[in-house]
Structure 1
Amino acid sequence: MATATGTGADLRRARLAIAAAFLTQGLVFISLTTRLPRIQDRWDLDELALSGVLLMMVLLAGVGSLVAEKLAPRLDSAVVLRAGLVVIAVSVAVLVLAPVTAVFVLGLAAYGVGLGIVDATGNMQAVALEHRLGRVVLPSCHGAWTLGGVIGAVLTLATTDVPWSALAALALLPLAAAAAPYLARDSGEAATSTDTDVPWRAIVMIGLALVVFYTVDTAASTWGPVYLDDVFRAPEELVALATLPYLVASGLVRLVGDRLTEQVGAVRLLRVGAAIALVSLAVIVAAPTWPVAVLGFTLLGCGVAVVAPLSFSAAAALAGRDADPATRQARVDAVVARFNQFNYAGALLGAVMTGAVGSSSLRVGFAVPLVLVVALFWLARAFAPADDPSV
């Protein structure tokens, strides 16, 4: 665990630990979502029932984020992050080994709460590290999440014949991550947070950009494979190509996103990314063949990759500005946890609006993120604080 002063070695260890938490979160989440058809068959869930339990999980993730908001200022985000990882480990084991449907649903509900806790506290840790280092690190942390997602997707493809009970081994990953040396709160930091002078209007503007990102991201990851299947009748074994290249492209850009942000600046980088996203979504909507659509999804991953990490950077910078060291971290932790709710709002919009508008044709459905992404050109100006994470 890092010391209060944060030596170079301490901060390097903390950075690796935080990256490991993000990677673990992405790997476990994608490992589960890519097995939804298997889960559906195992528990004999129709589409409505499956949608219901997934909605429950997303809503409880929001509850988990609120729990993190209340506990992190009192206990330290590192402590709450470890607790969230343990909750995920136990819940994954429960939902995999569940003997009846009710126990499975209980395990999925607990996983939702743990998901929200780890989402919020992981970003708290990454933001605190940015402030200690005085430079951008959130894009590469989110890149670790994406890398974990890619590993999870590949593992799913490679283990299709593995007995279902063997998937309980996934629980070992968050347990191992819980023992990592996360960043400890500086001595003297306040034990409670305050909303005093927090510029919520500016933070909400950044949150709207996060909603746009997760609307686009969820549309691509949820409806992309269906789009290739329904519109182009792509070979069944290849429909995952709507998601995997998107994830790989997004992960690569995020891994170099720290340096890109420092060289180009957050505002300009977001506007360039929005232009790429706009072109790529137009390619997806107008694609004459499925390989062209796959190219569009790949470019889309490049375009929107840094929106989420820079959103947390900018919101945290605004929350901590002009605050004395005794209250800064507690306030930032509370704001990051509350800001995380925009994540789940966007995810719900992406899943519901794209499908509802595209009920007759998903070409029309993907016009929803095509229109929404235009807002990023205007919202990018709210990201100026992300250019200076030391504020």
Structure 2
Amino acid sequence: MAVAAAFAVQGLLFISLTTRLPRFQDKWDLSELFVSGLLLMVVLLAGAGSALSELAATRRGSATALRVGFVLQALGLAAVAGAPQRGVFVGGLAVYGLGLGVVDAASNMQAVAVEHRYGRTILPSFHGAWTAGGIVATLVTIAVTRVGLLAGLLPLCVVALLLLAAPLLPASADEPVSTSAPGLDVPWRRILLLGAAMVLFYMVDTAATTWGPVFLKSVHAAPDWLLPLATLPYLVASLATRLAGDGAVARLGAVRLLRVGAVVACAALAVIVFSPTWWVAVLGFTFLGGSVAVIAPLSFSAAAVVAGGGLDPEARRERVDAVIARFNQFNYVGGLLGAVLTGVVGSESLRPGFAVPMVLILAILPLAGAFRTEGTTRPTRPTRRTRPT
């Protein structure tokens, strides 16, 4: 429950920020190109934060890294909300981005460690908690549309700080924390294929959550109170898919699930790109969320299985933590494609911006084969035992 709470708070903070992006645009008179530059800064700093979390986890444990990350996010978000001038706003985004990367990596380290204890796929449920936090954030954004940015975001900073007291999984639970980096003699080629799939997911996810509200405003001239509707149905559909993901993987297998999802995602993005009205675009975002939501958790789960295969429990967690921190970097490559490339290509109109992920998501079809790993594929039926003579 503590690890799930960390995912939920991370989703709460991130979506609270992105759903207010049009308001920050208006407040500071930011162009789509300038916003793309800010998102590039956040993504790069998040990548640096993910790398720092690896160092912190090997010395102090992923629980400590996670708590430090939430402190950084709370401070950064408070600065963003109450910034008296544009420079403070940009500085707050920088601090938030660094904390974002630390929390992303450390929370997945914690989730993978818990999953290994369960001995079955449960990462989709943890990522479902992230989505649930995002849904709460979207509903709150709609409810406080007329409330000032500082009053709307400052209570969320307090929520992040409350999580510091959560009983996270300590490093000593599986093995003593070492002071040296573990040997990473892992099959990186296989992990790179899994990472490519995660890049594609975060390309789509970041485009939807970051540019979705802006799409409704700039393309369909939707009123301000409707702008979070680009994110809310997307997150609700994502939550439903992730909560059903554990069972769906057991019944259908990860490969089939991912390939069907890629085709549906392409069709959903086509609906968004060619949408004649805002409500058709919202329908497209809804189907999009339901089609791609399990890619990220299954990627982390499969990467952990590949990284920790053949190791005893005492050696596995340290190496898996280090691999997950590096694997998490694929998150930000996808963020670059989704946030920056979508904004740059769509600087004149976001319709062609969303056409980029519409085409690229089909690369999941050949990459899905890399998910045939223990714990992510459909289980085989047990053999019938013969009666002893």
Tell whether 2:246 aligns with 1:269. no
What percent identity do the matched residue pairs reach? 59
Aligned to 1:247: 235
8 A contact 1:64–1:113 mirrored in 2: yes
Structure 1's 232 and 56: CA in aligned 2 closer, same or farther, altered over 3 A?
A: closer
Q: 1:184 aligns with which of 147, 170, 186?
A: 170
8 A contact 2:19–2:228 mirrored in 1: no
Q: How many residues align?
A: 374
Instruction: Answer with 219-228 or 290-299: which moved more.
Output: 219-228
| Alignment partners' CA distance in 2, 1:29 and 1:189 | 33
Aligned to 2:161: 175
| Alignment partners' CA distance in 2, 1:235 and 1:107 | 28
Aligned to 1:133: 118
| Alignment partners' CA distance in 2, 1:18 and 1:201 | 29
Q: 1:312 aligns with which of 300, 312, 333?
A: 300
| Alignment partners' CA distance in 2, 1:369 and 1:74 | 38
Q: 2:13 aligns with which of 8, 15, 28?
A: 28
- CA drift at 1:41: 4.5
Structure 2: which amino acid aligns with 1:351?
A
Structure 1's 350 and 46: CA in aligned 2 closer, same or farther, altered over 3 A?
A: closer
Aligned to 1:207: 195
Aligned to 1:92: 77
| Alignment partners' CA distance in 1, 2:275 and 2:30 | 33
Aligned to 1:122: 107
Aligned to 2:209: 221
| Alignment partners' CA distance in 2, 1:361 and 1:161 | 28
Instruction: Answer with 362-371 or 69-78: which moved more.
Output: 362-371
Aligned to 2:280: 292
Structure 2: which amino acid aligns with 1:213?
F
Q: What are the equivalent positions in structure 2 for 1:319-334 lying under 5 Å apart?
A: 319-334=307-322
Structure 1's 224 and 43: CA in aligned 2 closer, same or farther, altered over 3 A?
A: closer
SS of residue matched to 2:372: helix
8 A contact 2:73–2:100 mirrored in 1: yes
Residues 282-305 of structure 1 deviation map (CA, whole Å, 9 limit, x = unaligned): 333444544333222211111101
Tell whether 2:138 aligns with 1:153. yes
Residues 46-99 of structure 1 deviation map (CA, whole Å, 9 limit, x = unaligned): 555444333222211111100001110221111211121222223333333444
Q: Give the gaps of 5 or more residues in structure 1.
A: 1-15
| Alignment partners' CA distance in 1, 2:37 and 2:348 | 22
| Alignment partners' CA distance in 2, 1:100 and 1:361 | 28
Instruction: Answer with 177-186 or 119-128: which moved more.
Output: 177-186
Structure 1's 300 and 45: CA in aligned 2 closer, same or farther, altered over 3 A?
A: closer
Instruction: Answer with 319-328 or 130-139: which moved more.
Output: 319-328
| Alignment partners' CA distance in 1, 2:122 and 2:219 | 39
- CA drift at 1:229: 4.4
- CA drift at 1:232: 4.5
Tell whether 2:338 aligns with 1:387. no
Instruction: Answer with 105-114 or 282-291: which moved more.
Output: 282-291
| Alignment partners' CA distance in 2, 1:148 and 1:375 | 29
Aligned to 1:197: 185
8 A contact 1:357–1:365 mirrored in 2: yes
SS of residue matched to 1:387: coil
Q: 1:280 aligns with which of 243, 250, 268?
A: 268
8 A contact 2:9–2:133 mirrored in 1: yes
Residues 155-199 of structure 1 deviation map (CA, whole Å, 9 limit, x = unaligned): 112112334432322211111111111112335346144344211
Tell whether 2:68 aligns with 1:68. no
- CA drift at 1:133: 0.7
Task: Calculate the TM-score normalised by the size of structure 2.
Answer: 0.88
- CA drift at 1:387: 2.9
Structure 1: which amino acid aligns with 2:333?
A
| Alignment partners' CA distance in 2, 1:356 and 1:97 | 28
- CA drift at 1:322: 1.4
- CA drift at 1:108: 2.3
Structure 2: which amino acid aligns with 1:63?
A
